[in-house]
Homo-oligomer: A and B are copies of this chain.
Amino acid sequence: MANRTDFRSDNVTGAAPEILAAITRANQGSATPYGEDALTESVEARLQEVFETDCAVFPVATGTAANALSLSVMAPAYGAIYCHELAHVNVDECGAPELFTGGAKLVVMSGAGAKISAADLADRLARSGKGNVHQVQAAAVSITQATELGAIYKPAEIAAIAEAGRPFGVRLHMDGARFANALAGGKASPADMTWRAGVTALSFGASKNGALAAEAVVLFDRNLAQEFAFRRKRAGHLFSKMRFLSAQLEAYLTEDLWLKHARHANGMAKRLADGLARVTGASFAAPVEANEIFVSLPEPLILALEREGFLFYRWDNAQLLRLVTAWDTDPADVDRFLAVAARHAGAAA
Contact = CB atoms under 8 A, between A and B. Distances in A.
Interface of A: 1-4, 6, 8-9, 11-15, 20, 23-24, 26-34, 60-66, 68-69, 76-78, 91-96, 98-106, 108, 127, 133-137, 207-208, 212-213, 227, 229-241, 244-245, 311, 316
B105 A102 contact: no
B11 A20 contact: no
A43 to B, nearest CB: 16
Contact of A236 (B3, B32, B235, B245): B235
Contacts of A1: 29
Contact of A12 (B4, B31, B227): B31
A23 B28 CA distance: 17
Contacts of A14: 26-31, 241
A32 to B, nearest CB: 7
Nearest to A317: B127
A80 to B, nearest CB: 8
Contact of A212 (B2, B13, B63, B241): B241
B237 A62 contact: yes
- For the complex of A and B, 7 pairs with smallest distance between CB atoms: A2-B29, A65-B236, A98-B103, A102-B102, A6-B30, A11-B240, A64-B236
Contacts of A232: 133
A95 B102 CA distance: 10
A234 B134 CA distance: 8
A95 B237 CA distance: 13
A4 B6 CA distance: 44
A99 B234 contact: yes
Contacts of A98: 77, 98, 103-105
A62 B30 contact: no
B27 A244 contact: no
A71 to B, nearest CB: 11
A241 B65 CA distance: 14
Given A95-B234, A100-B236, 15 more contacts: A8-B32, A9-B240, A15-B23, A15-B27, A20-B24, A30-B311, A61-B61, A64-B236, A65-B237, A77-B98, A78-B231, A94-B133, A95-B136, A99-B103, A212-B241
A236 B132 CA distance: 15
A311 B311 CA distance: 52
Contacts of A101: 103
B61 A32 contact: no
A234 B135 contact: no
B133 A244 contact: no
21 contacts: A8-B30, A11-B240, A12-B32, A12-B33, A14-B27, A14-B241, A20-B23, A20-B24, A20-B27, A23-B212, A63-B240, A77-B95, A77-B98, A77-B234, A93-B134, A94-B136, A95-B136, A98-B103, A133-B233, A137-B230, A213-B240
A31 B25 CA distance: 25
A92 B236 CA distance: 11
Given A12-B33, A235-B236, A236-B62, A95 B105 contact: yes
